[in-house]
Amino acid sequence: MRRSHGPWSSHLAWQALQLSSFWRRRLTMLPLTAAPNARRSLRWNLAVATVAIGVLFSPTLYLSGAPAIEPDAKRAGKSELAPGAPVRVELPGGVIYEFIGVAAHPSQGGPWWGADGEPIAAPYQKHPAQTSEPAPKKLREFAMREVKKGDKGANAHWNVSPNGSSGGGRPRDANNKPIEGLESLSQALPGDASTCTVRFECAAGEWQTEAETDGQSTSSMGNQKYSFGFAPTAERDGKLVLSIAHNVLDKDLRIIAIDVEAREITTGEVSSAGGRGFLQTTAAFAGLDAKNVKEFRLQSRSYETVEIQNISLDPTTKTQPKVVVIKDVKQPQATRY
C-alpha cells in the first residue's frame, strides 16, 4: 500500500520514505529555473542536497500547512439532534419509538421540555391517569410516540427508572379524543433526582418451547433452570383456559395449542401475574374444544433492552441524552404497554 505524506510517499515500511514522482520532477527543475543557461556547479548540487536532506528529516514542514480535519460527529460523541428534538429508538422486529418529552405532573397548562431539557410544545392536552405521592417525591409525565409497530408479532414495552408509583395510557387532544400513536406515563421519582432513564424491552424472533402439557390433569416438571406446575384446562365464558405456574421471569412468554392434526393454534389471549420468584401465565382460546387439542406448549423468546439515558427531569437541567443497548439483561422491569 502506497501512502502520501506531503512531498513524500512510502510503502508499508515507514523507514522506506522516498520523494514522490511529482516532487522529484519539481526538484530536477530547480536548476533550470535558477540558472537556465549555466552548468550545475558543485556548489548548487550541494545546496539542493542540503534542502532534500532537510525535508527528509523535517516532513512536518510540508504537512503543517494542511487544513485540520474535523472528527466524525458520532465518534466524537456530539449530538446530531436539534435542541428539544425527539430521541428515536429502533428495536428488534422493526419496532420504532420516539421519546418526545417531559413535564411536571399534572401537565395541563404547564411547560414541556425535551430529553435534553430544552423547551418544546405540549404534545397533548390531557393525561389519562392520575399519580400522587407526598413530598419530597417528584411527579413527572413522559410522552412517547410509537412510530412503527413490530413485524412478526414483536412485543415491545417501555418504563421509566428510577421506578415509582405510576399510571399511563393514551393521552387526549383539546377535543378530549385519544391521540393515535401517542403514549403517556405519569410517575413519582425521588425528589433529588435530576435525570432518569427510559428503558425499552423488545422481544422478537423465534419462539422456543420451555414446557409441554396435555392439559388433562394437574402435573409438574422441571429442569436445571426452570420449574413448572400445570393445572387442567377449564371452560370459562366460551373459552378454553389453561394456567401454568413457573419461574421463567426473564423472557417474553406465550402458550400455544397443538391440535390433533399437529397444527399450531396461536390465537390464545395470554396474561401473566405473580409474585417474588414465580409467575402464573394463563391462556384463553375462544372456540377451542379440549378434545381437539393434543398438547399445550409454554414458549419463550429473549428480550433485547435499549435505554435512553440522561433524560432531564427539570427544564433548568440541560443534558446530553444517549441511546445505549444493554447486552446483559437479568430480568425485565415492570412493563407499561
Among 116, 136, 196, smallest CA distance to 163 is for 196
Give the count of domains, the chain.
2
Among 129, 124, 126, 127, smallest CA distance to 167 is for 129
**Overall size of the chain counted in residues:** 337
* 308 is a domain residue: no
* 162 is a domain residue: no
Q: pLDDT digit string (tens) for 253-307?
A: 999 999 999 999 998 899 988 888 999 999 999 999 999 999 999 999 998 999 9
* 78 is a domain residue: no
Domain of 259, CATH number, reads 2.60.40.1640
* 82 is a domain residue: no
Q: What is the pLDDT confidence band of residue 46, given thresholds at 50, 70 and 90?
A: low
- Could you list the residue range(s) of the whole structural domain that residue 244 is in? 208-303
* 281 is a domain residue: yes
Q: pLDDT digit string (tens) for 63-75?
A: 333 333 233 333 2
pLDDT of 276 = 84
Q: For the whole model, what pTM was predicted?
A: 0.64
Q: DSSP string of 170-223?
A: --B-TTS-BPTTEEEEEEEE-TT--EEEEEEEEE-S--EEEEEE-SSS-EEEE-
* 56 is a domain residue: yes
The last residue of a domain, from among 63, 78, 110: 63
Q: pLDDT digit string (tens) for 217-259?
A: 999 999 989 999 999 999 999 999 999 999 998 889 999 999 9
Q: Using a pLDDT cut of 90, give the percent of the chain over it.
A: 61
The last residue of a domain, from among 63, 79, 113: 63
* 285 is a domain residue: yes
The last residue of a domain, from among 45, 63, 81: 63
* 21 is a domain residue: yes
Among 132, 125, 84, smallest CA distance to 105 is for 132
Cα 323 to Cα 307: distance, rounded to the nearest angstrom: 6
More confident position, 150 or 233: 233
- In this structure, the number of other CB atoms found within 10 A of the CB of residue 238 comes to 9
Cα 217 to Cα 158: distance, rounded to the nearest angstrom: 37
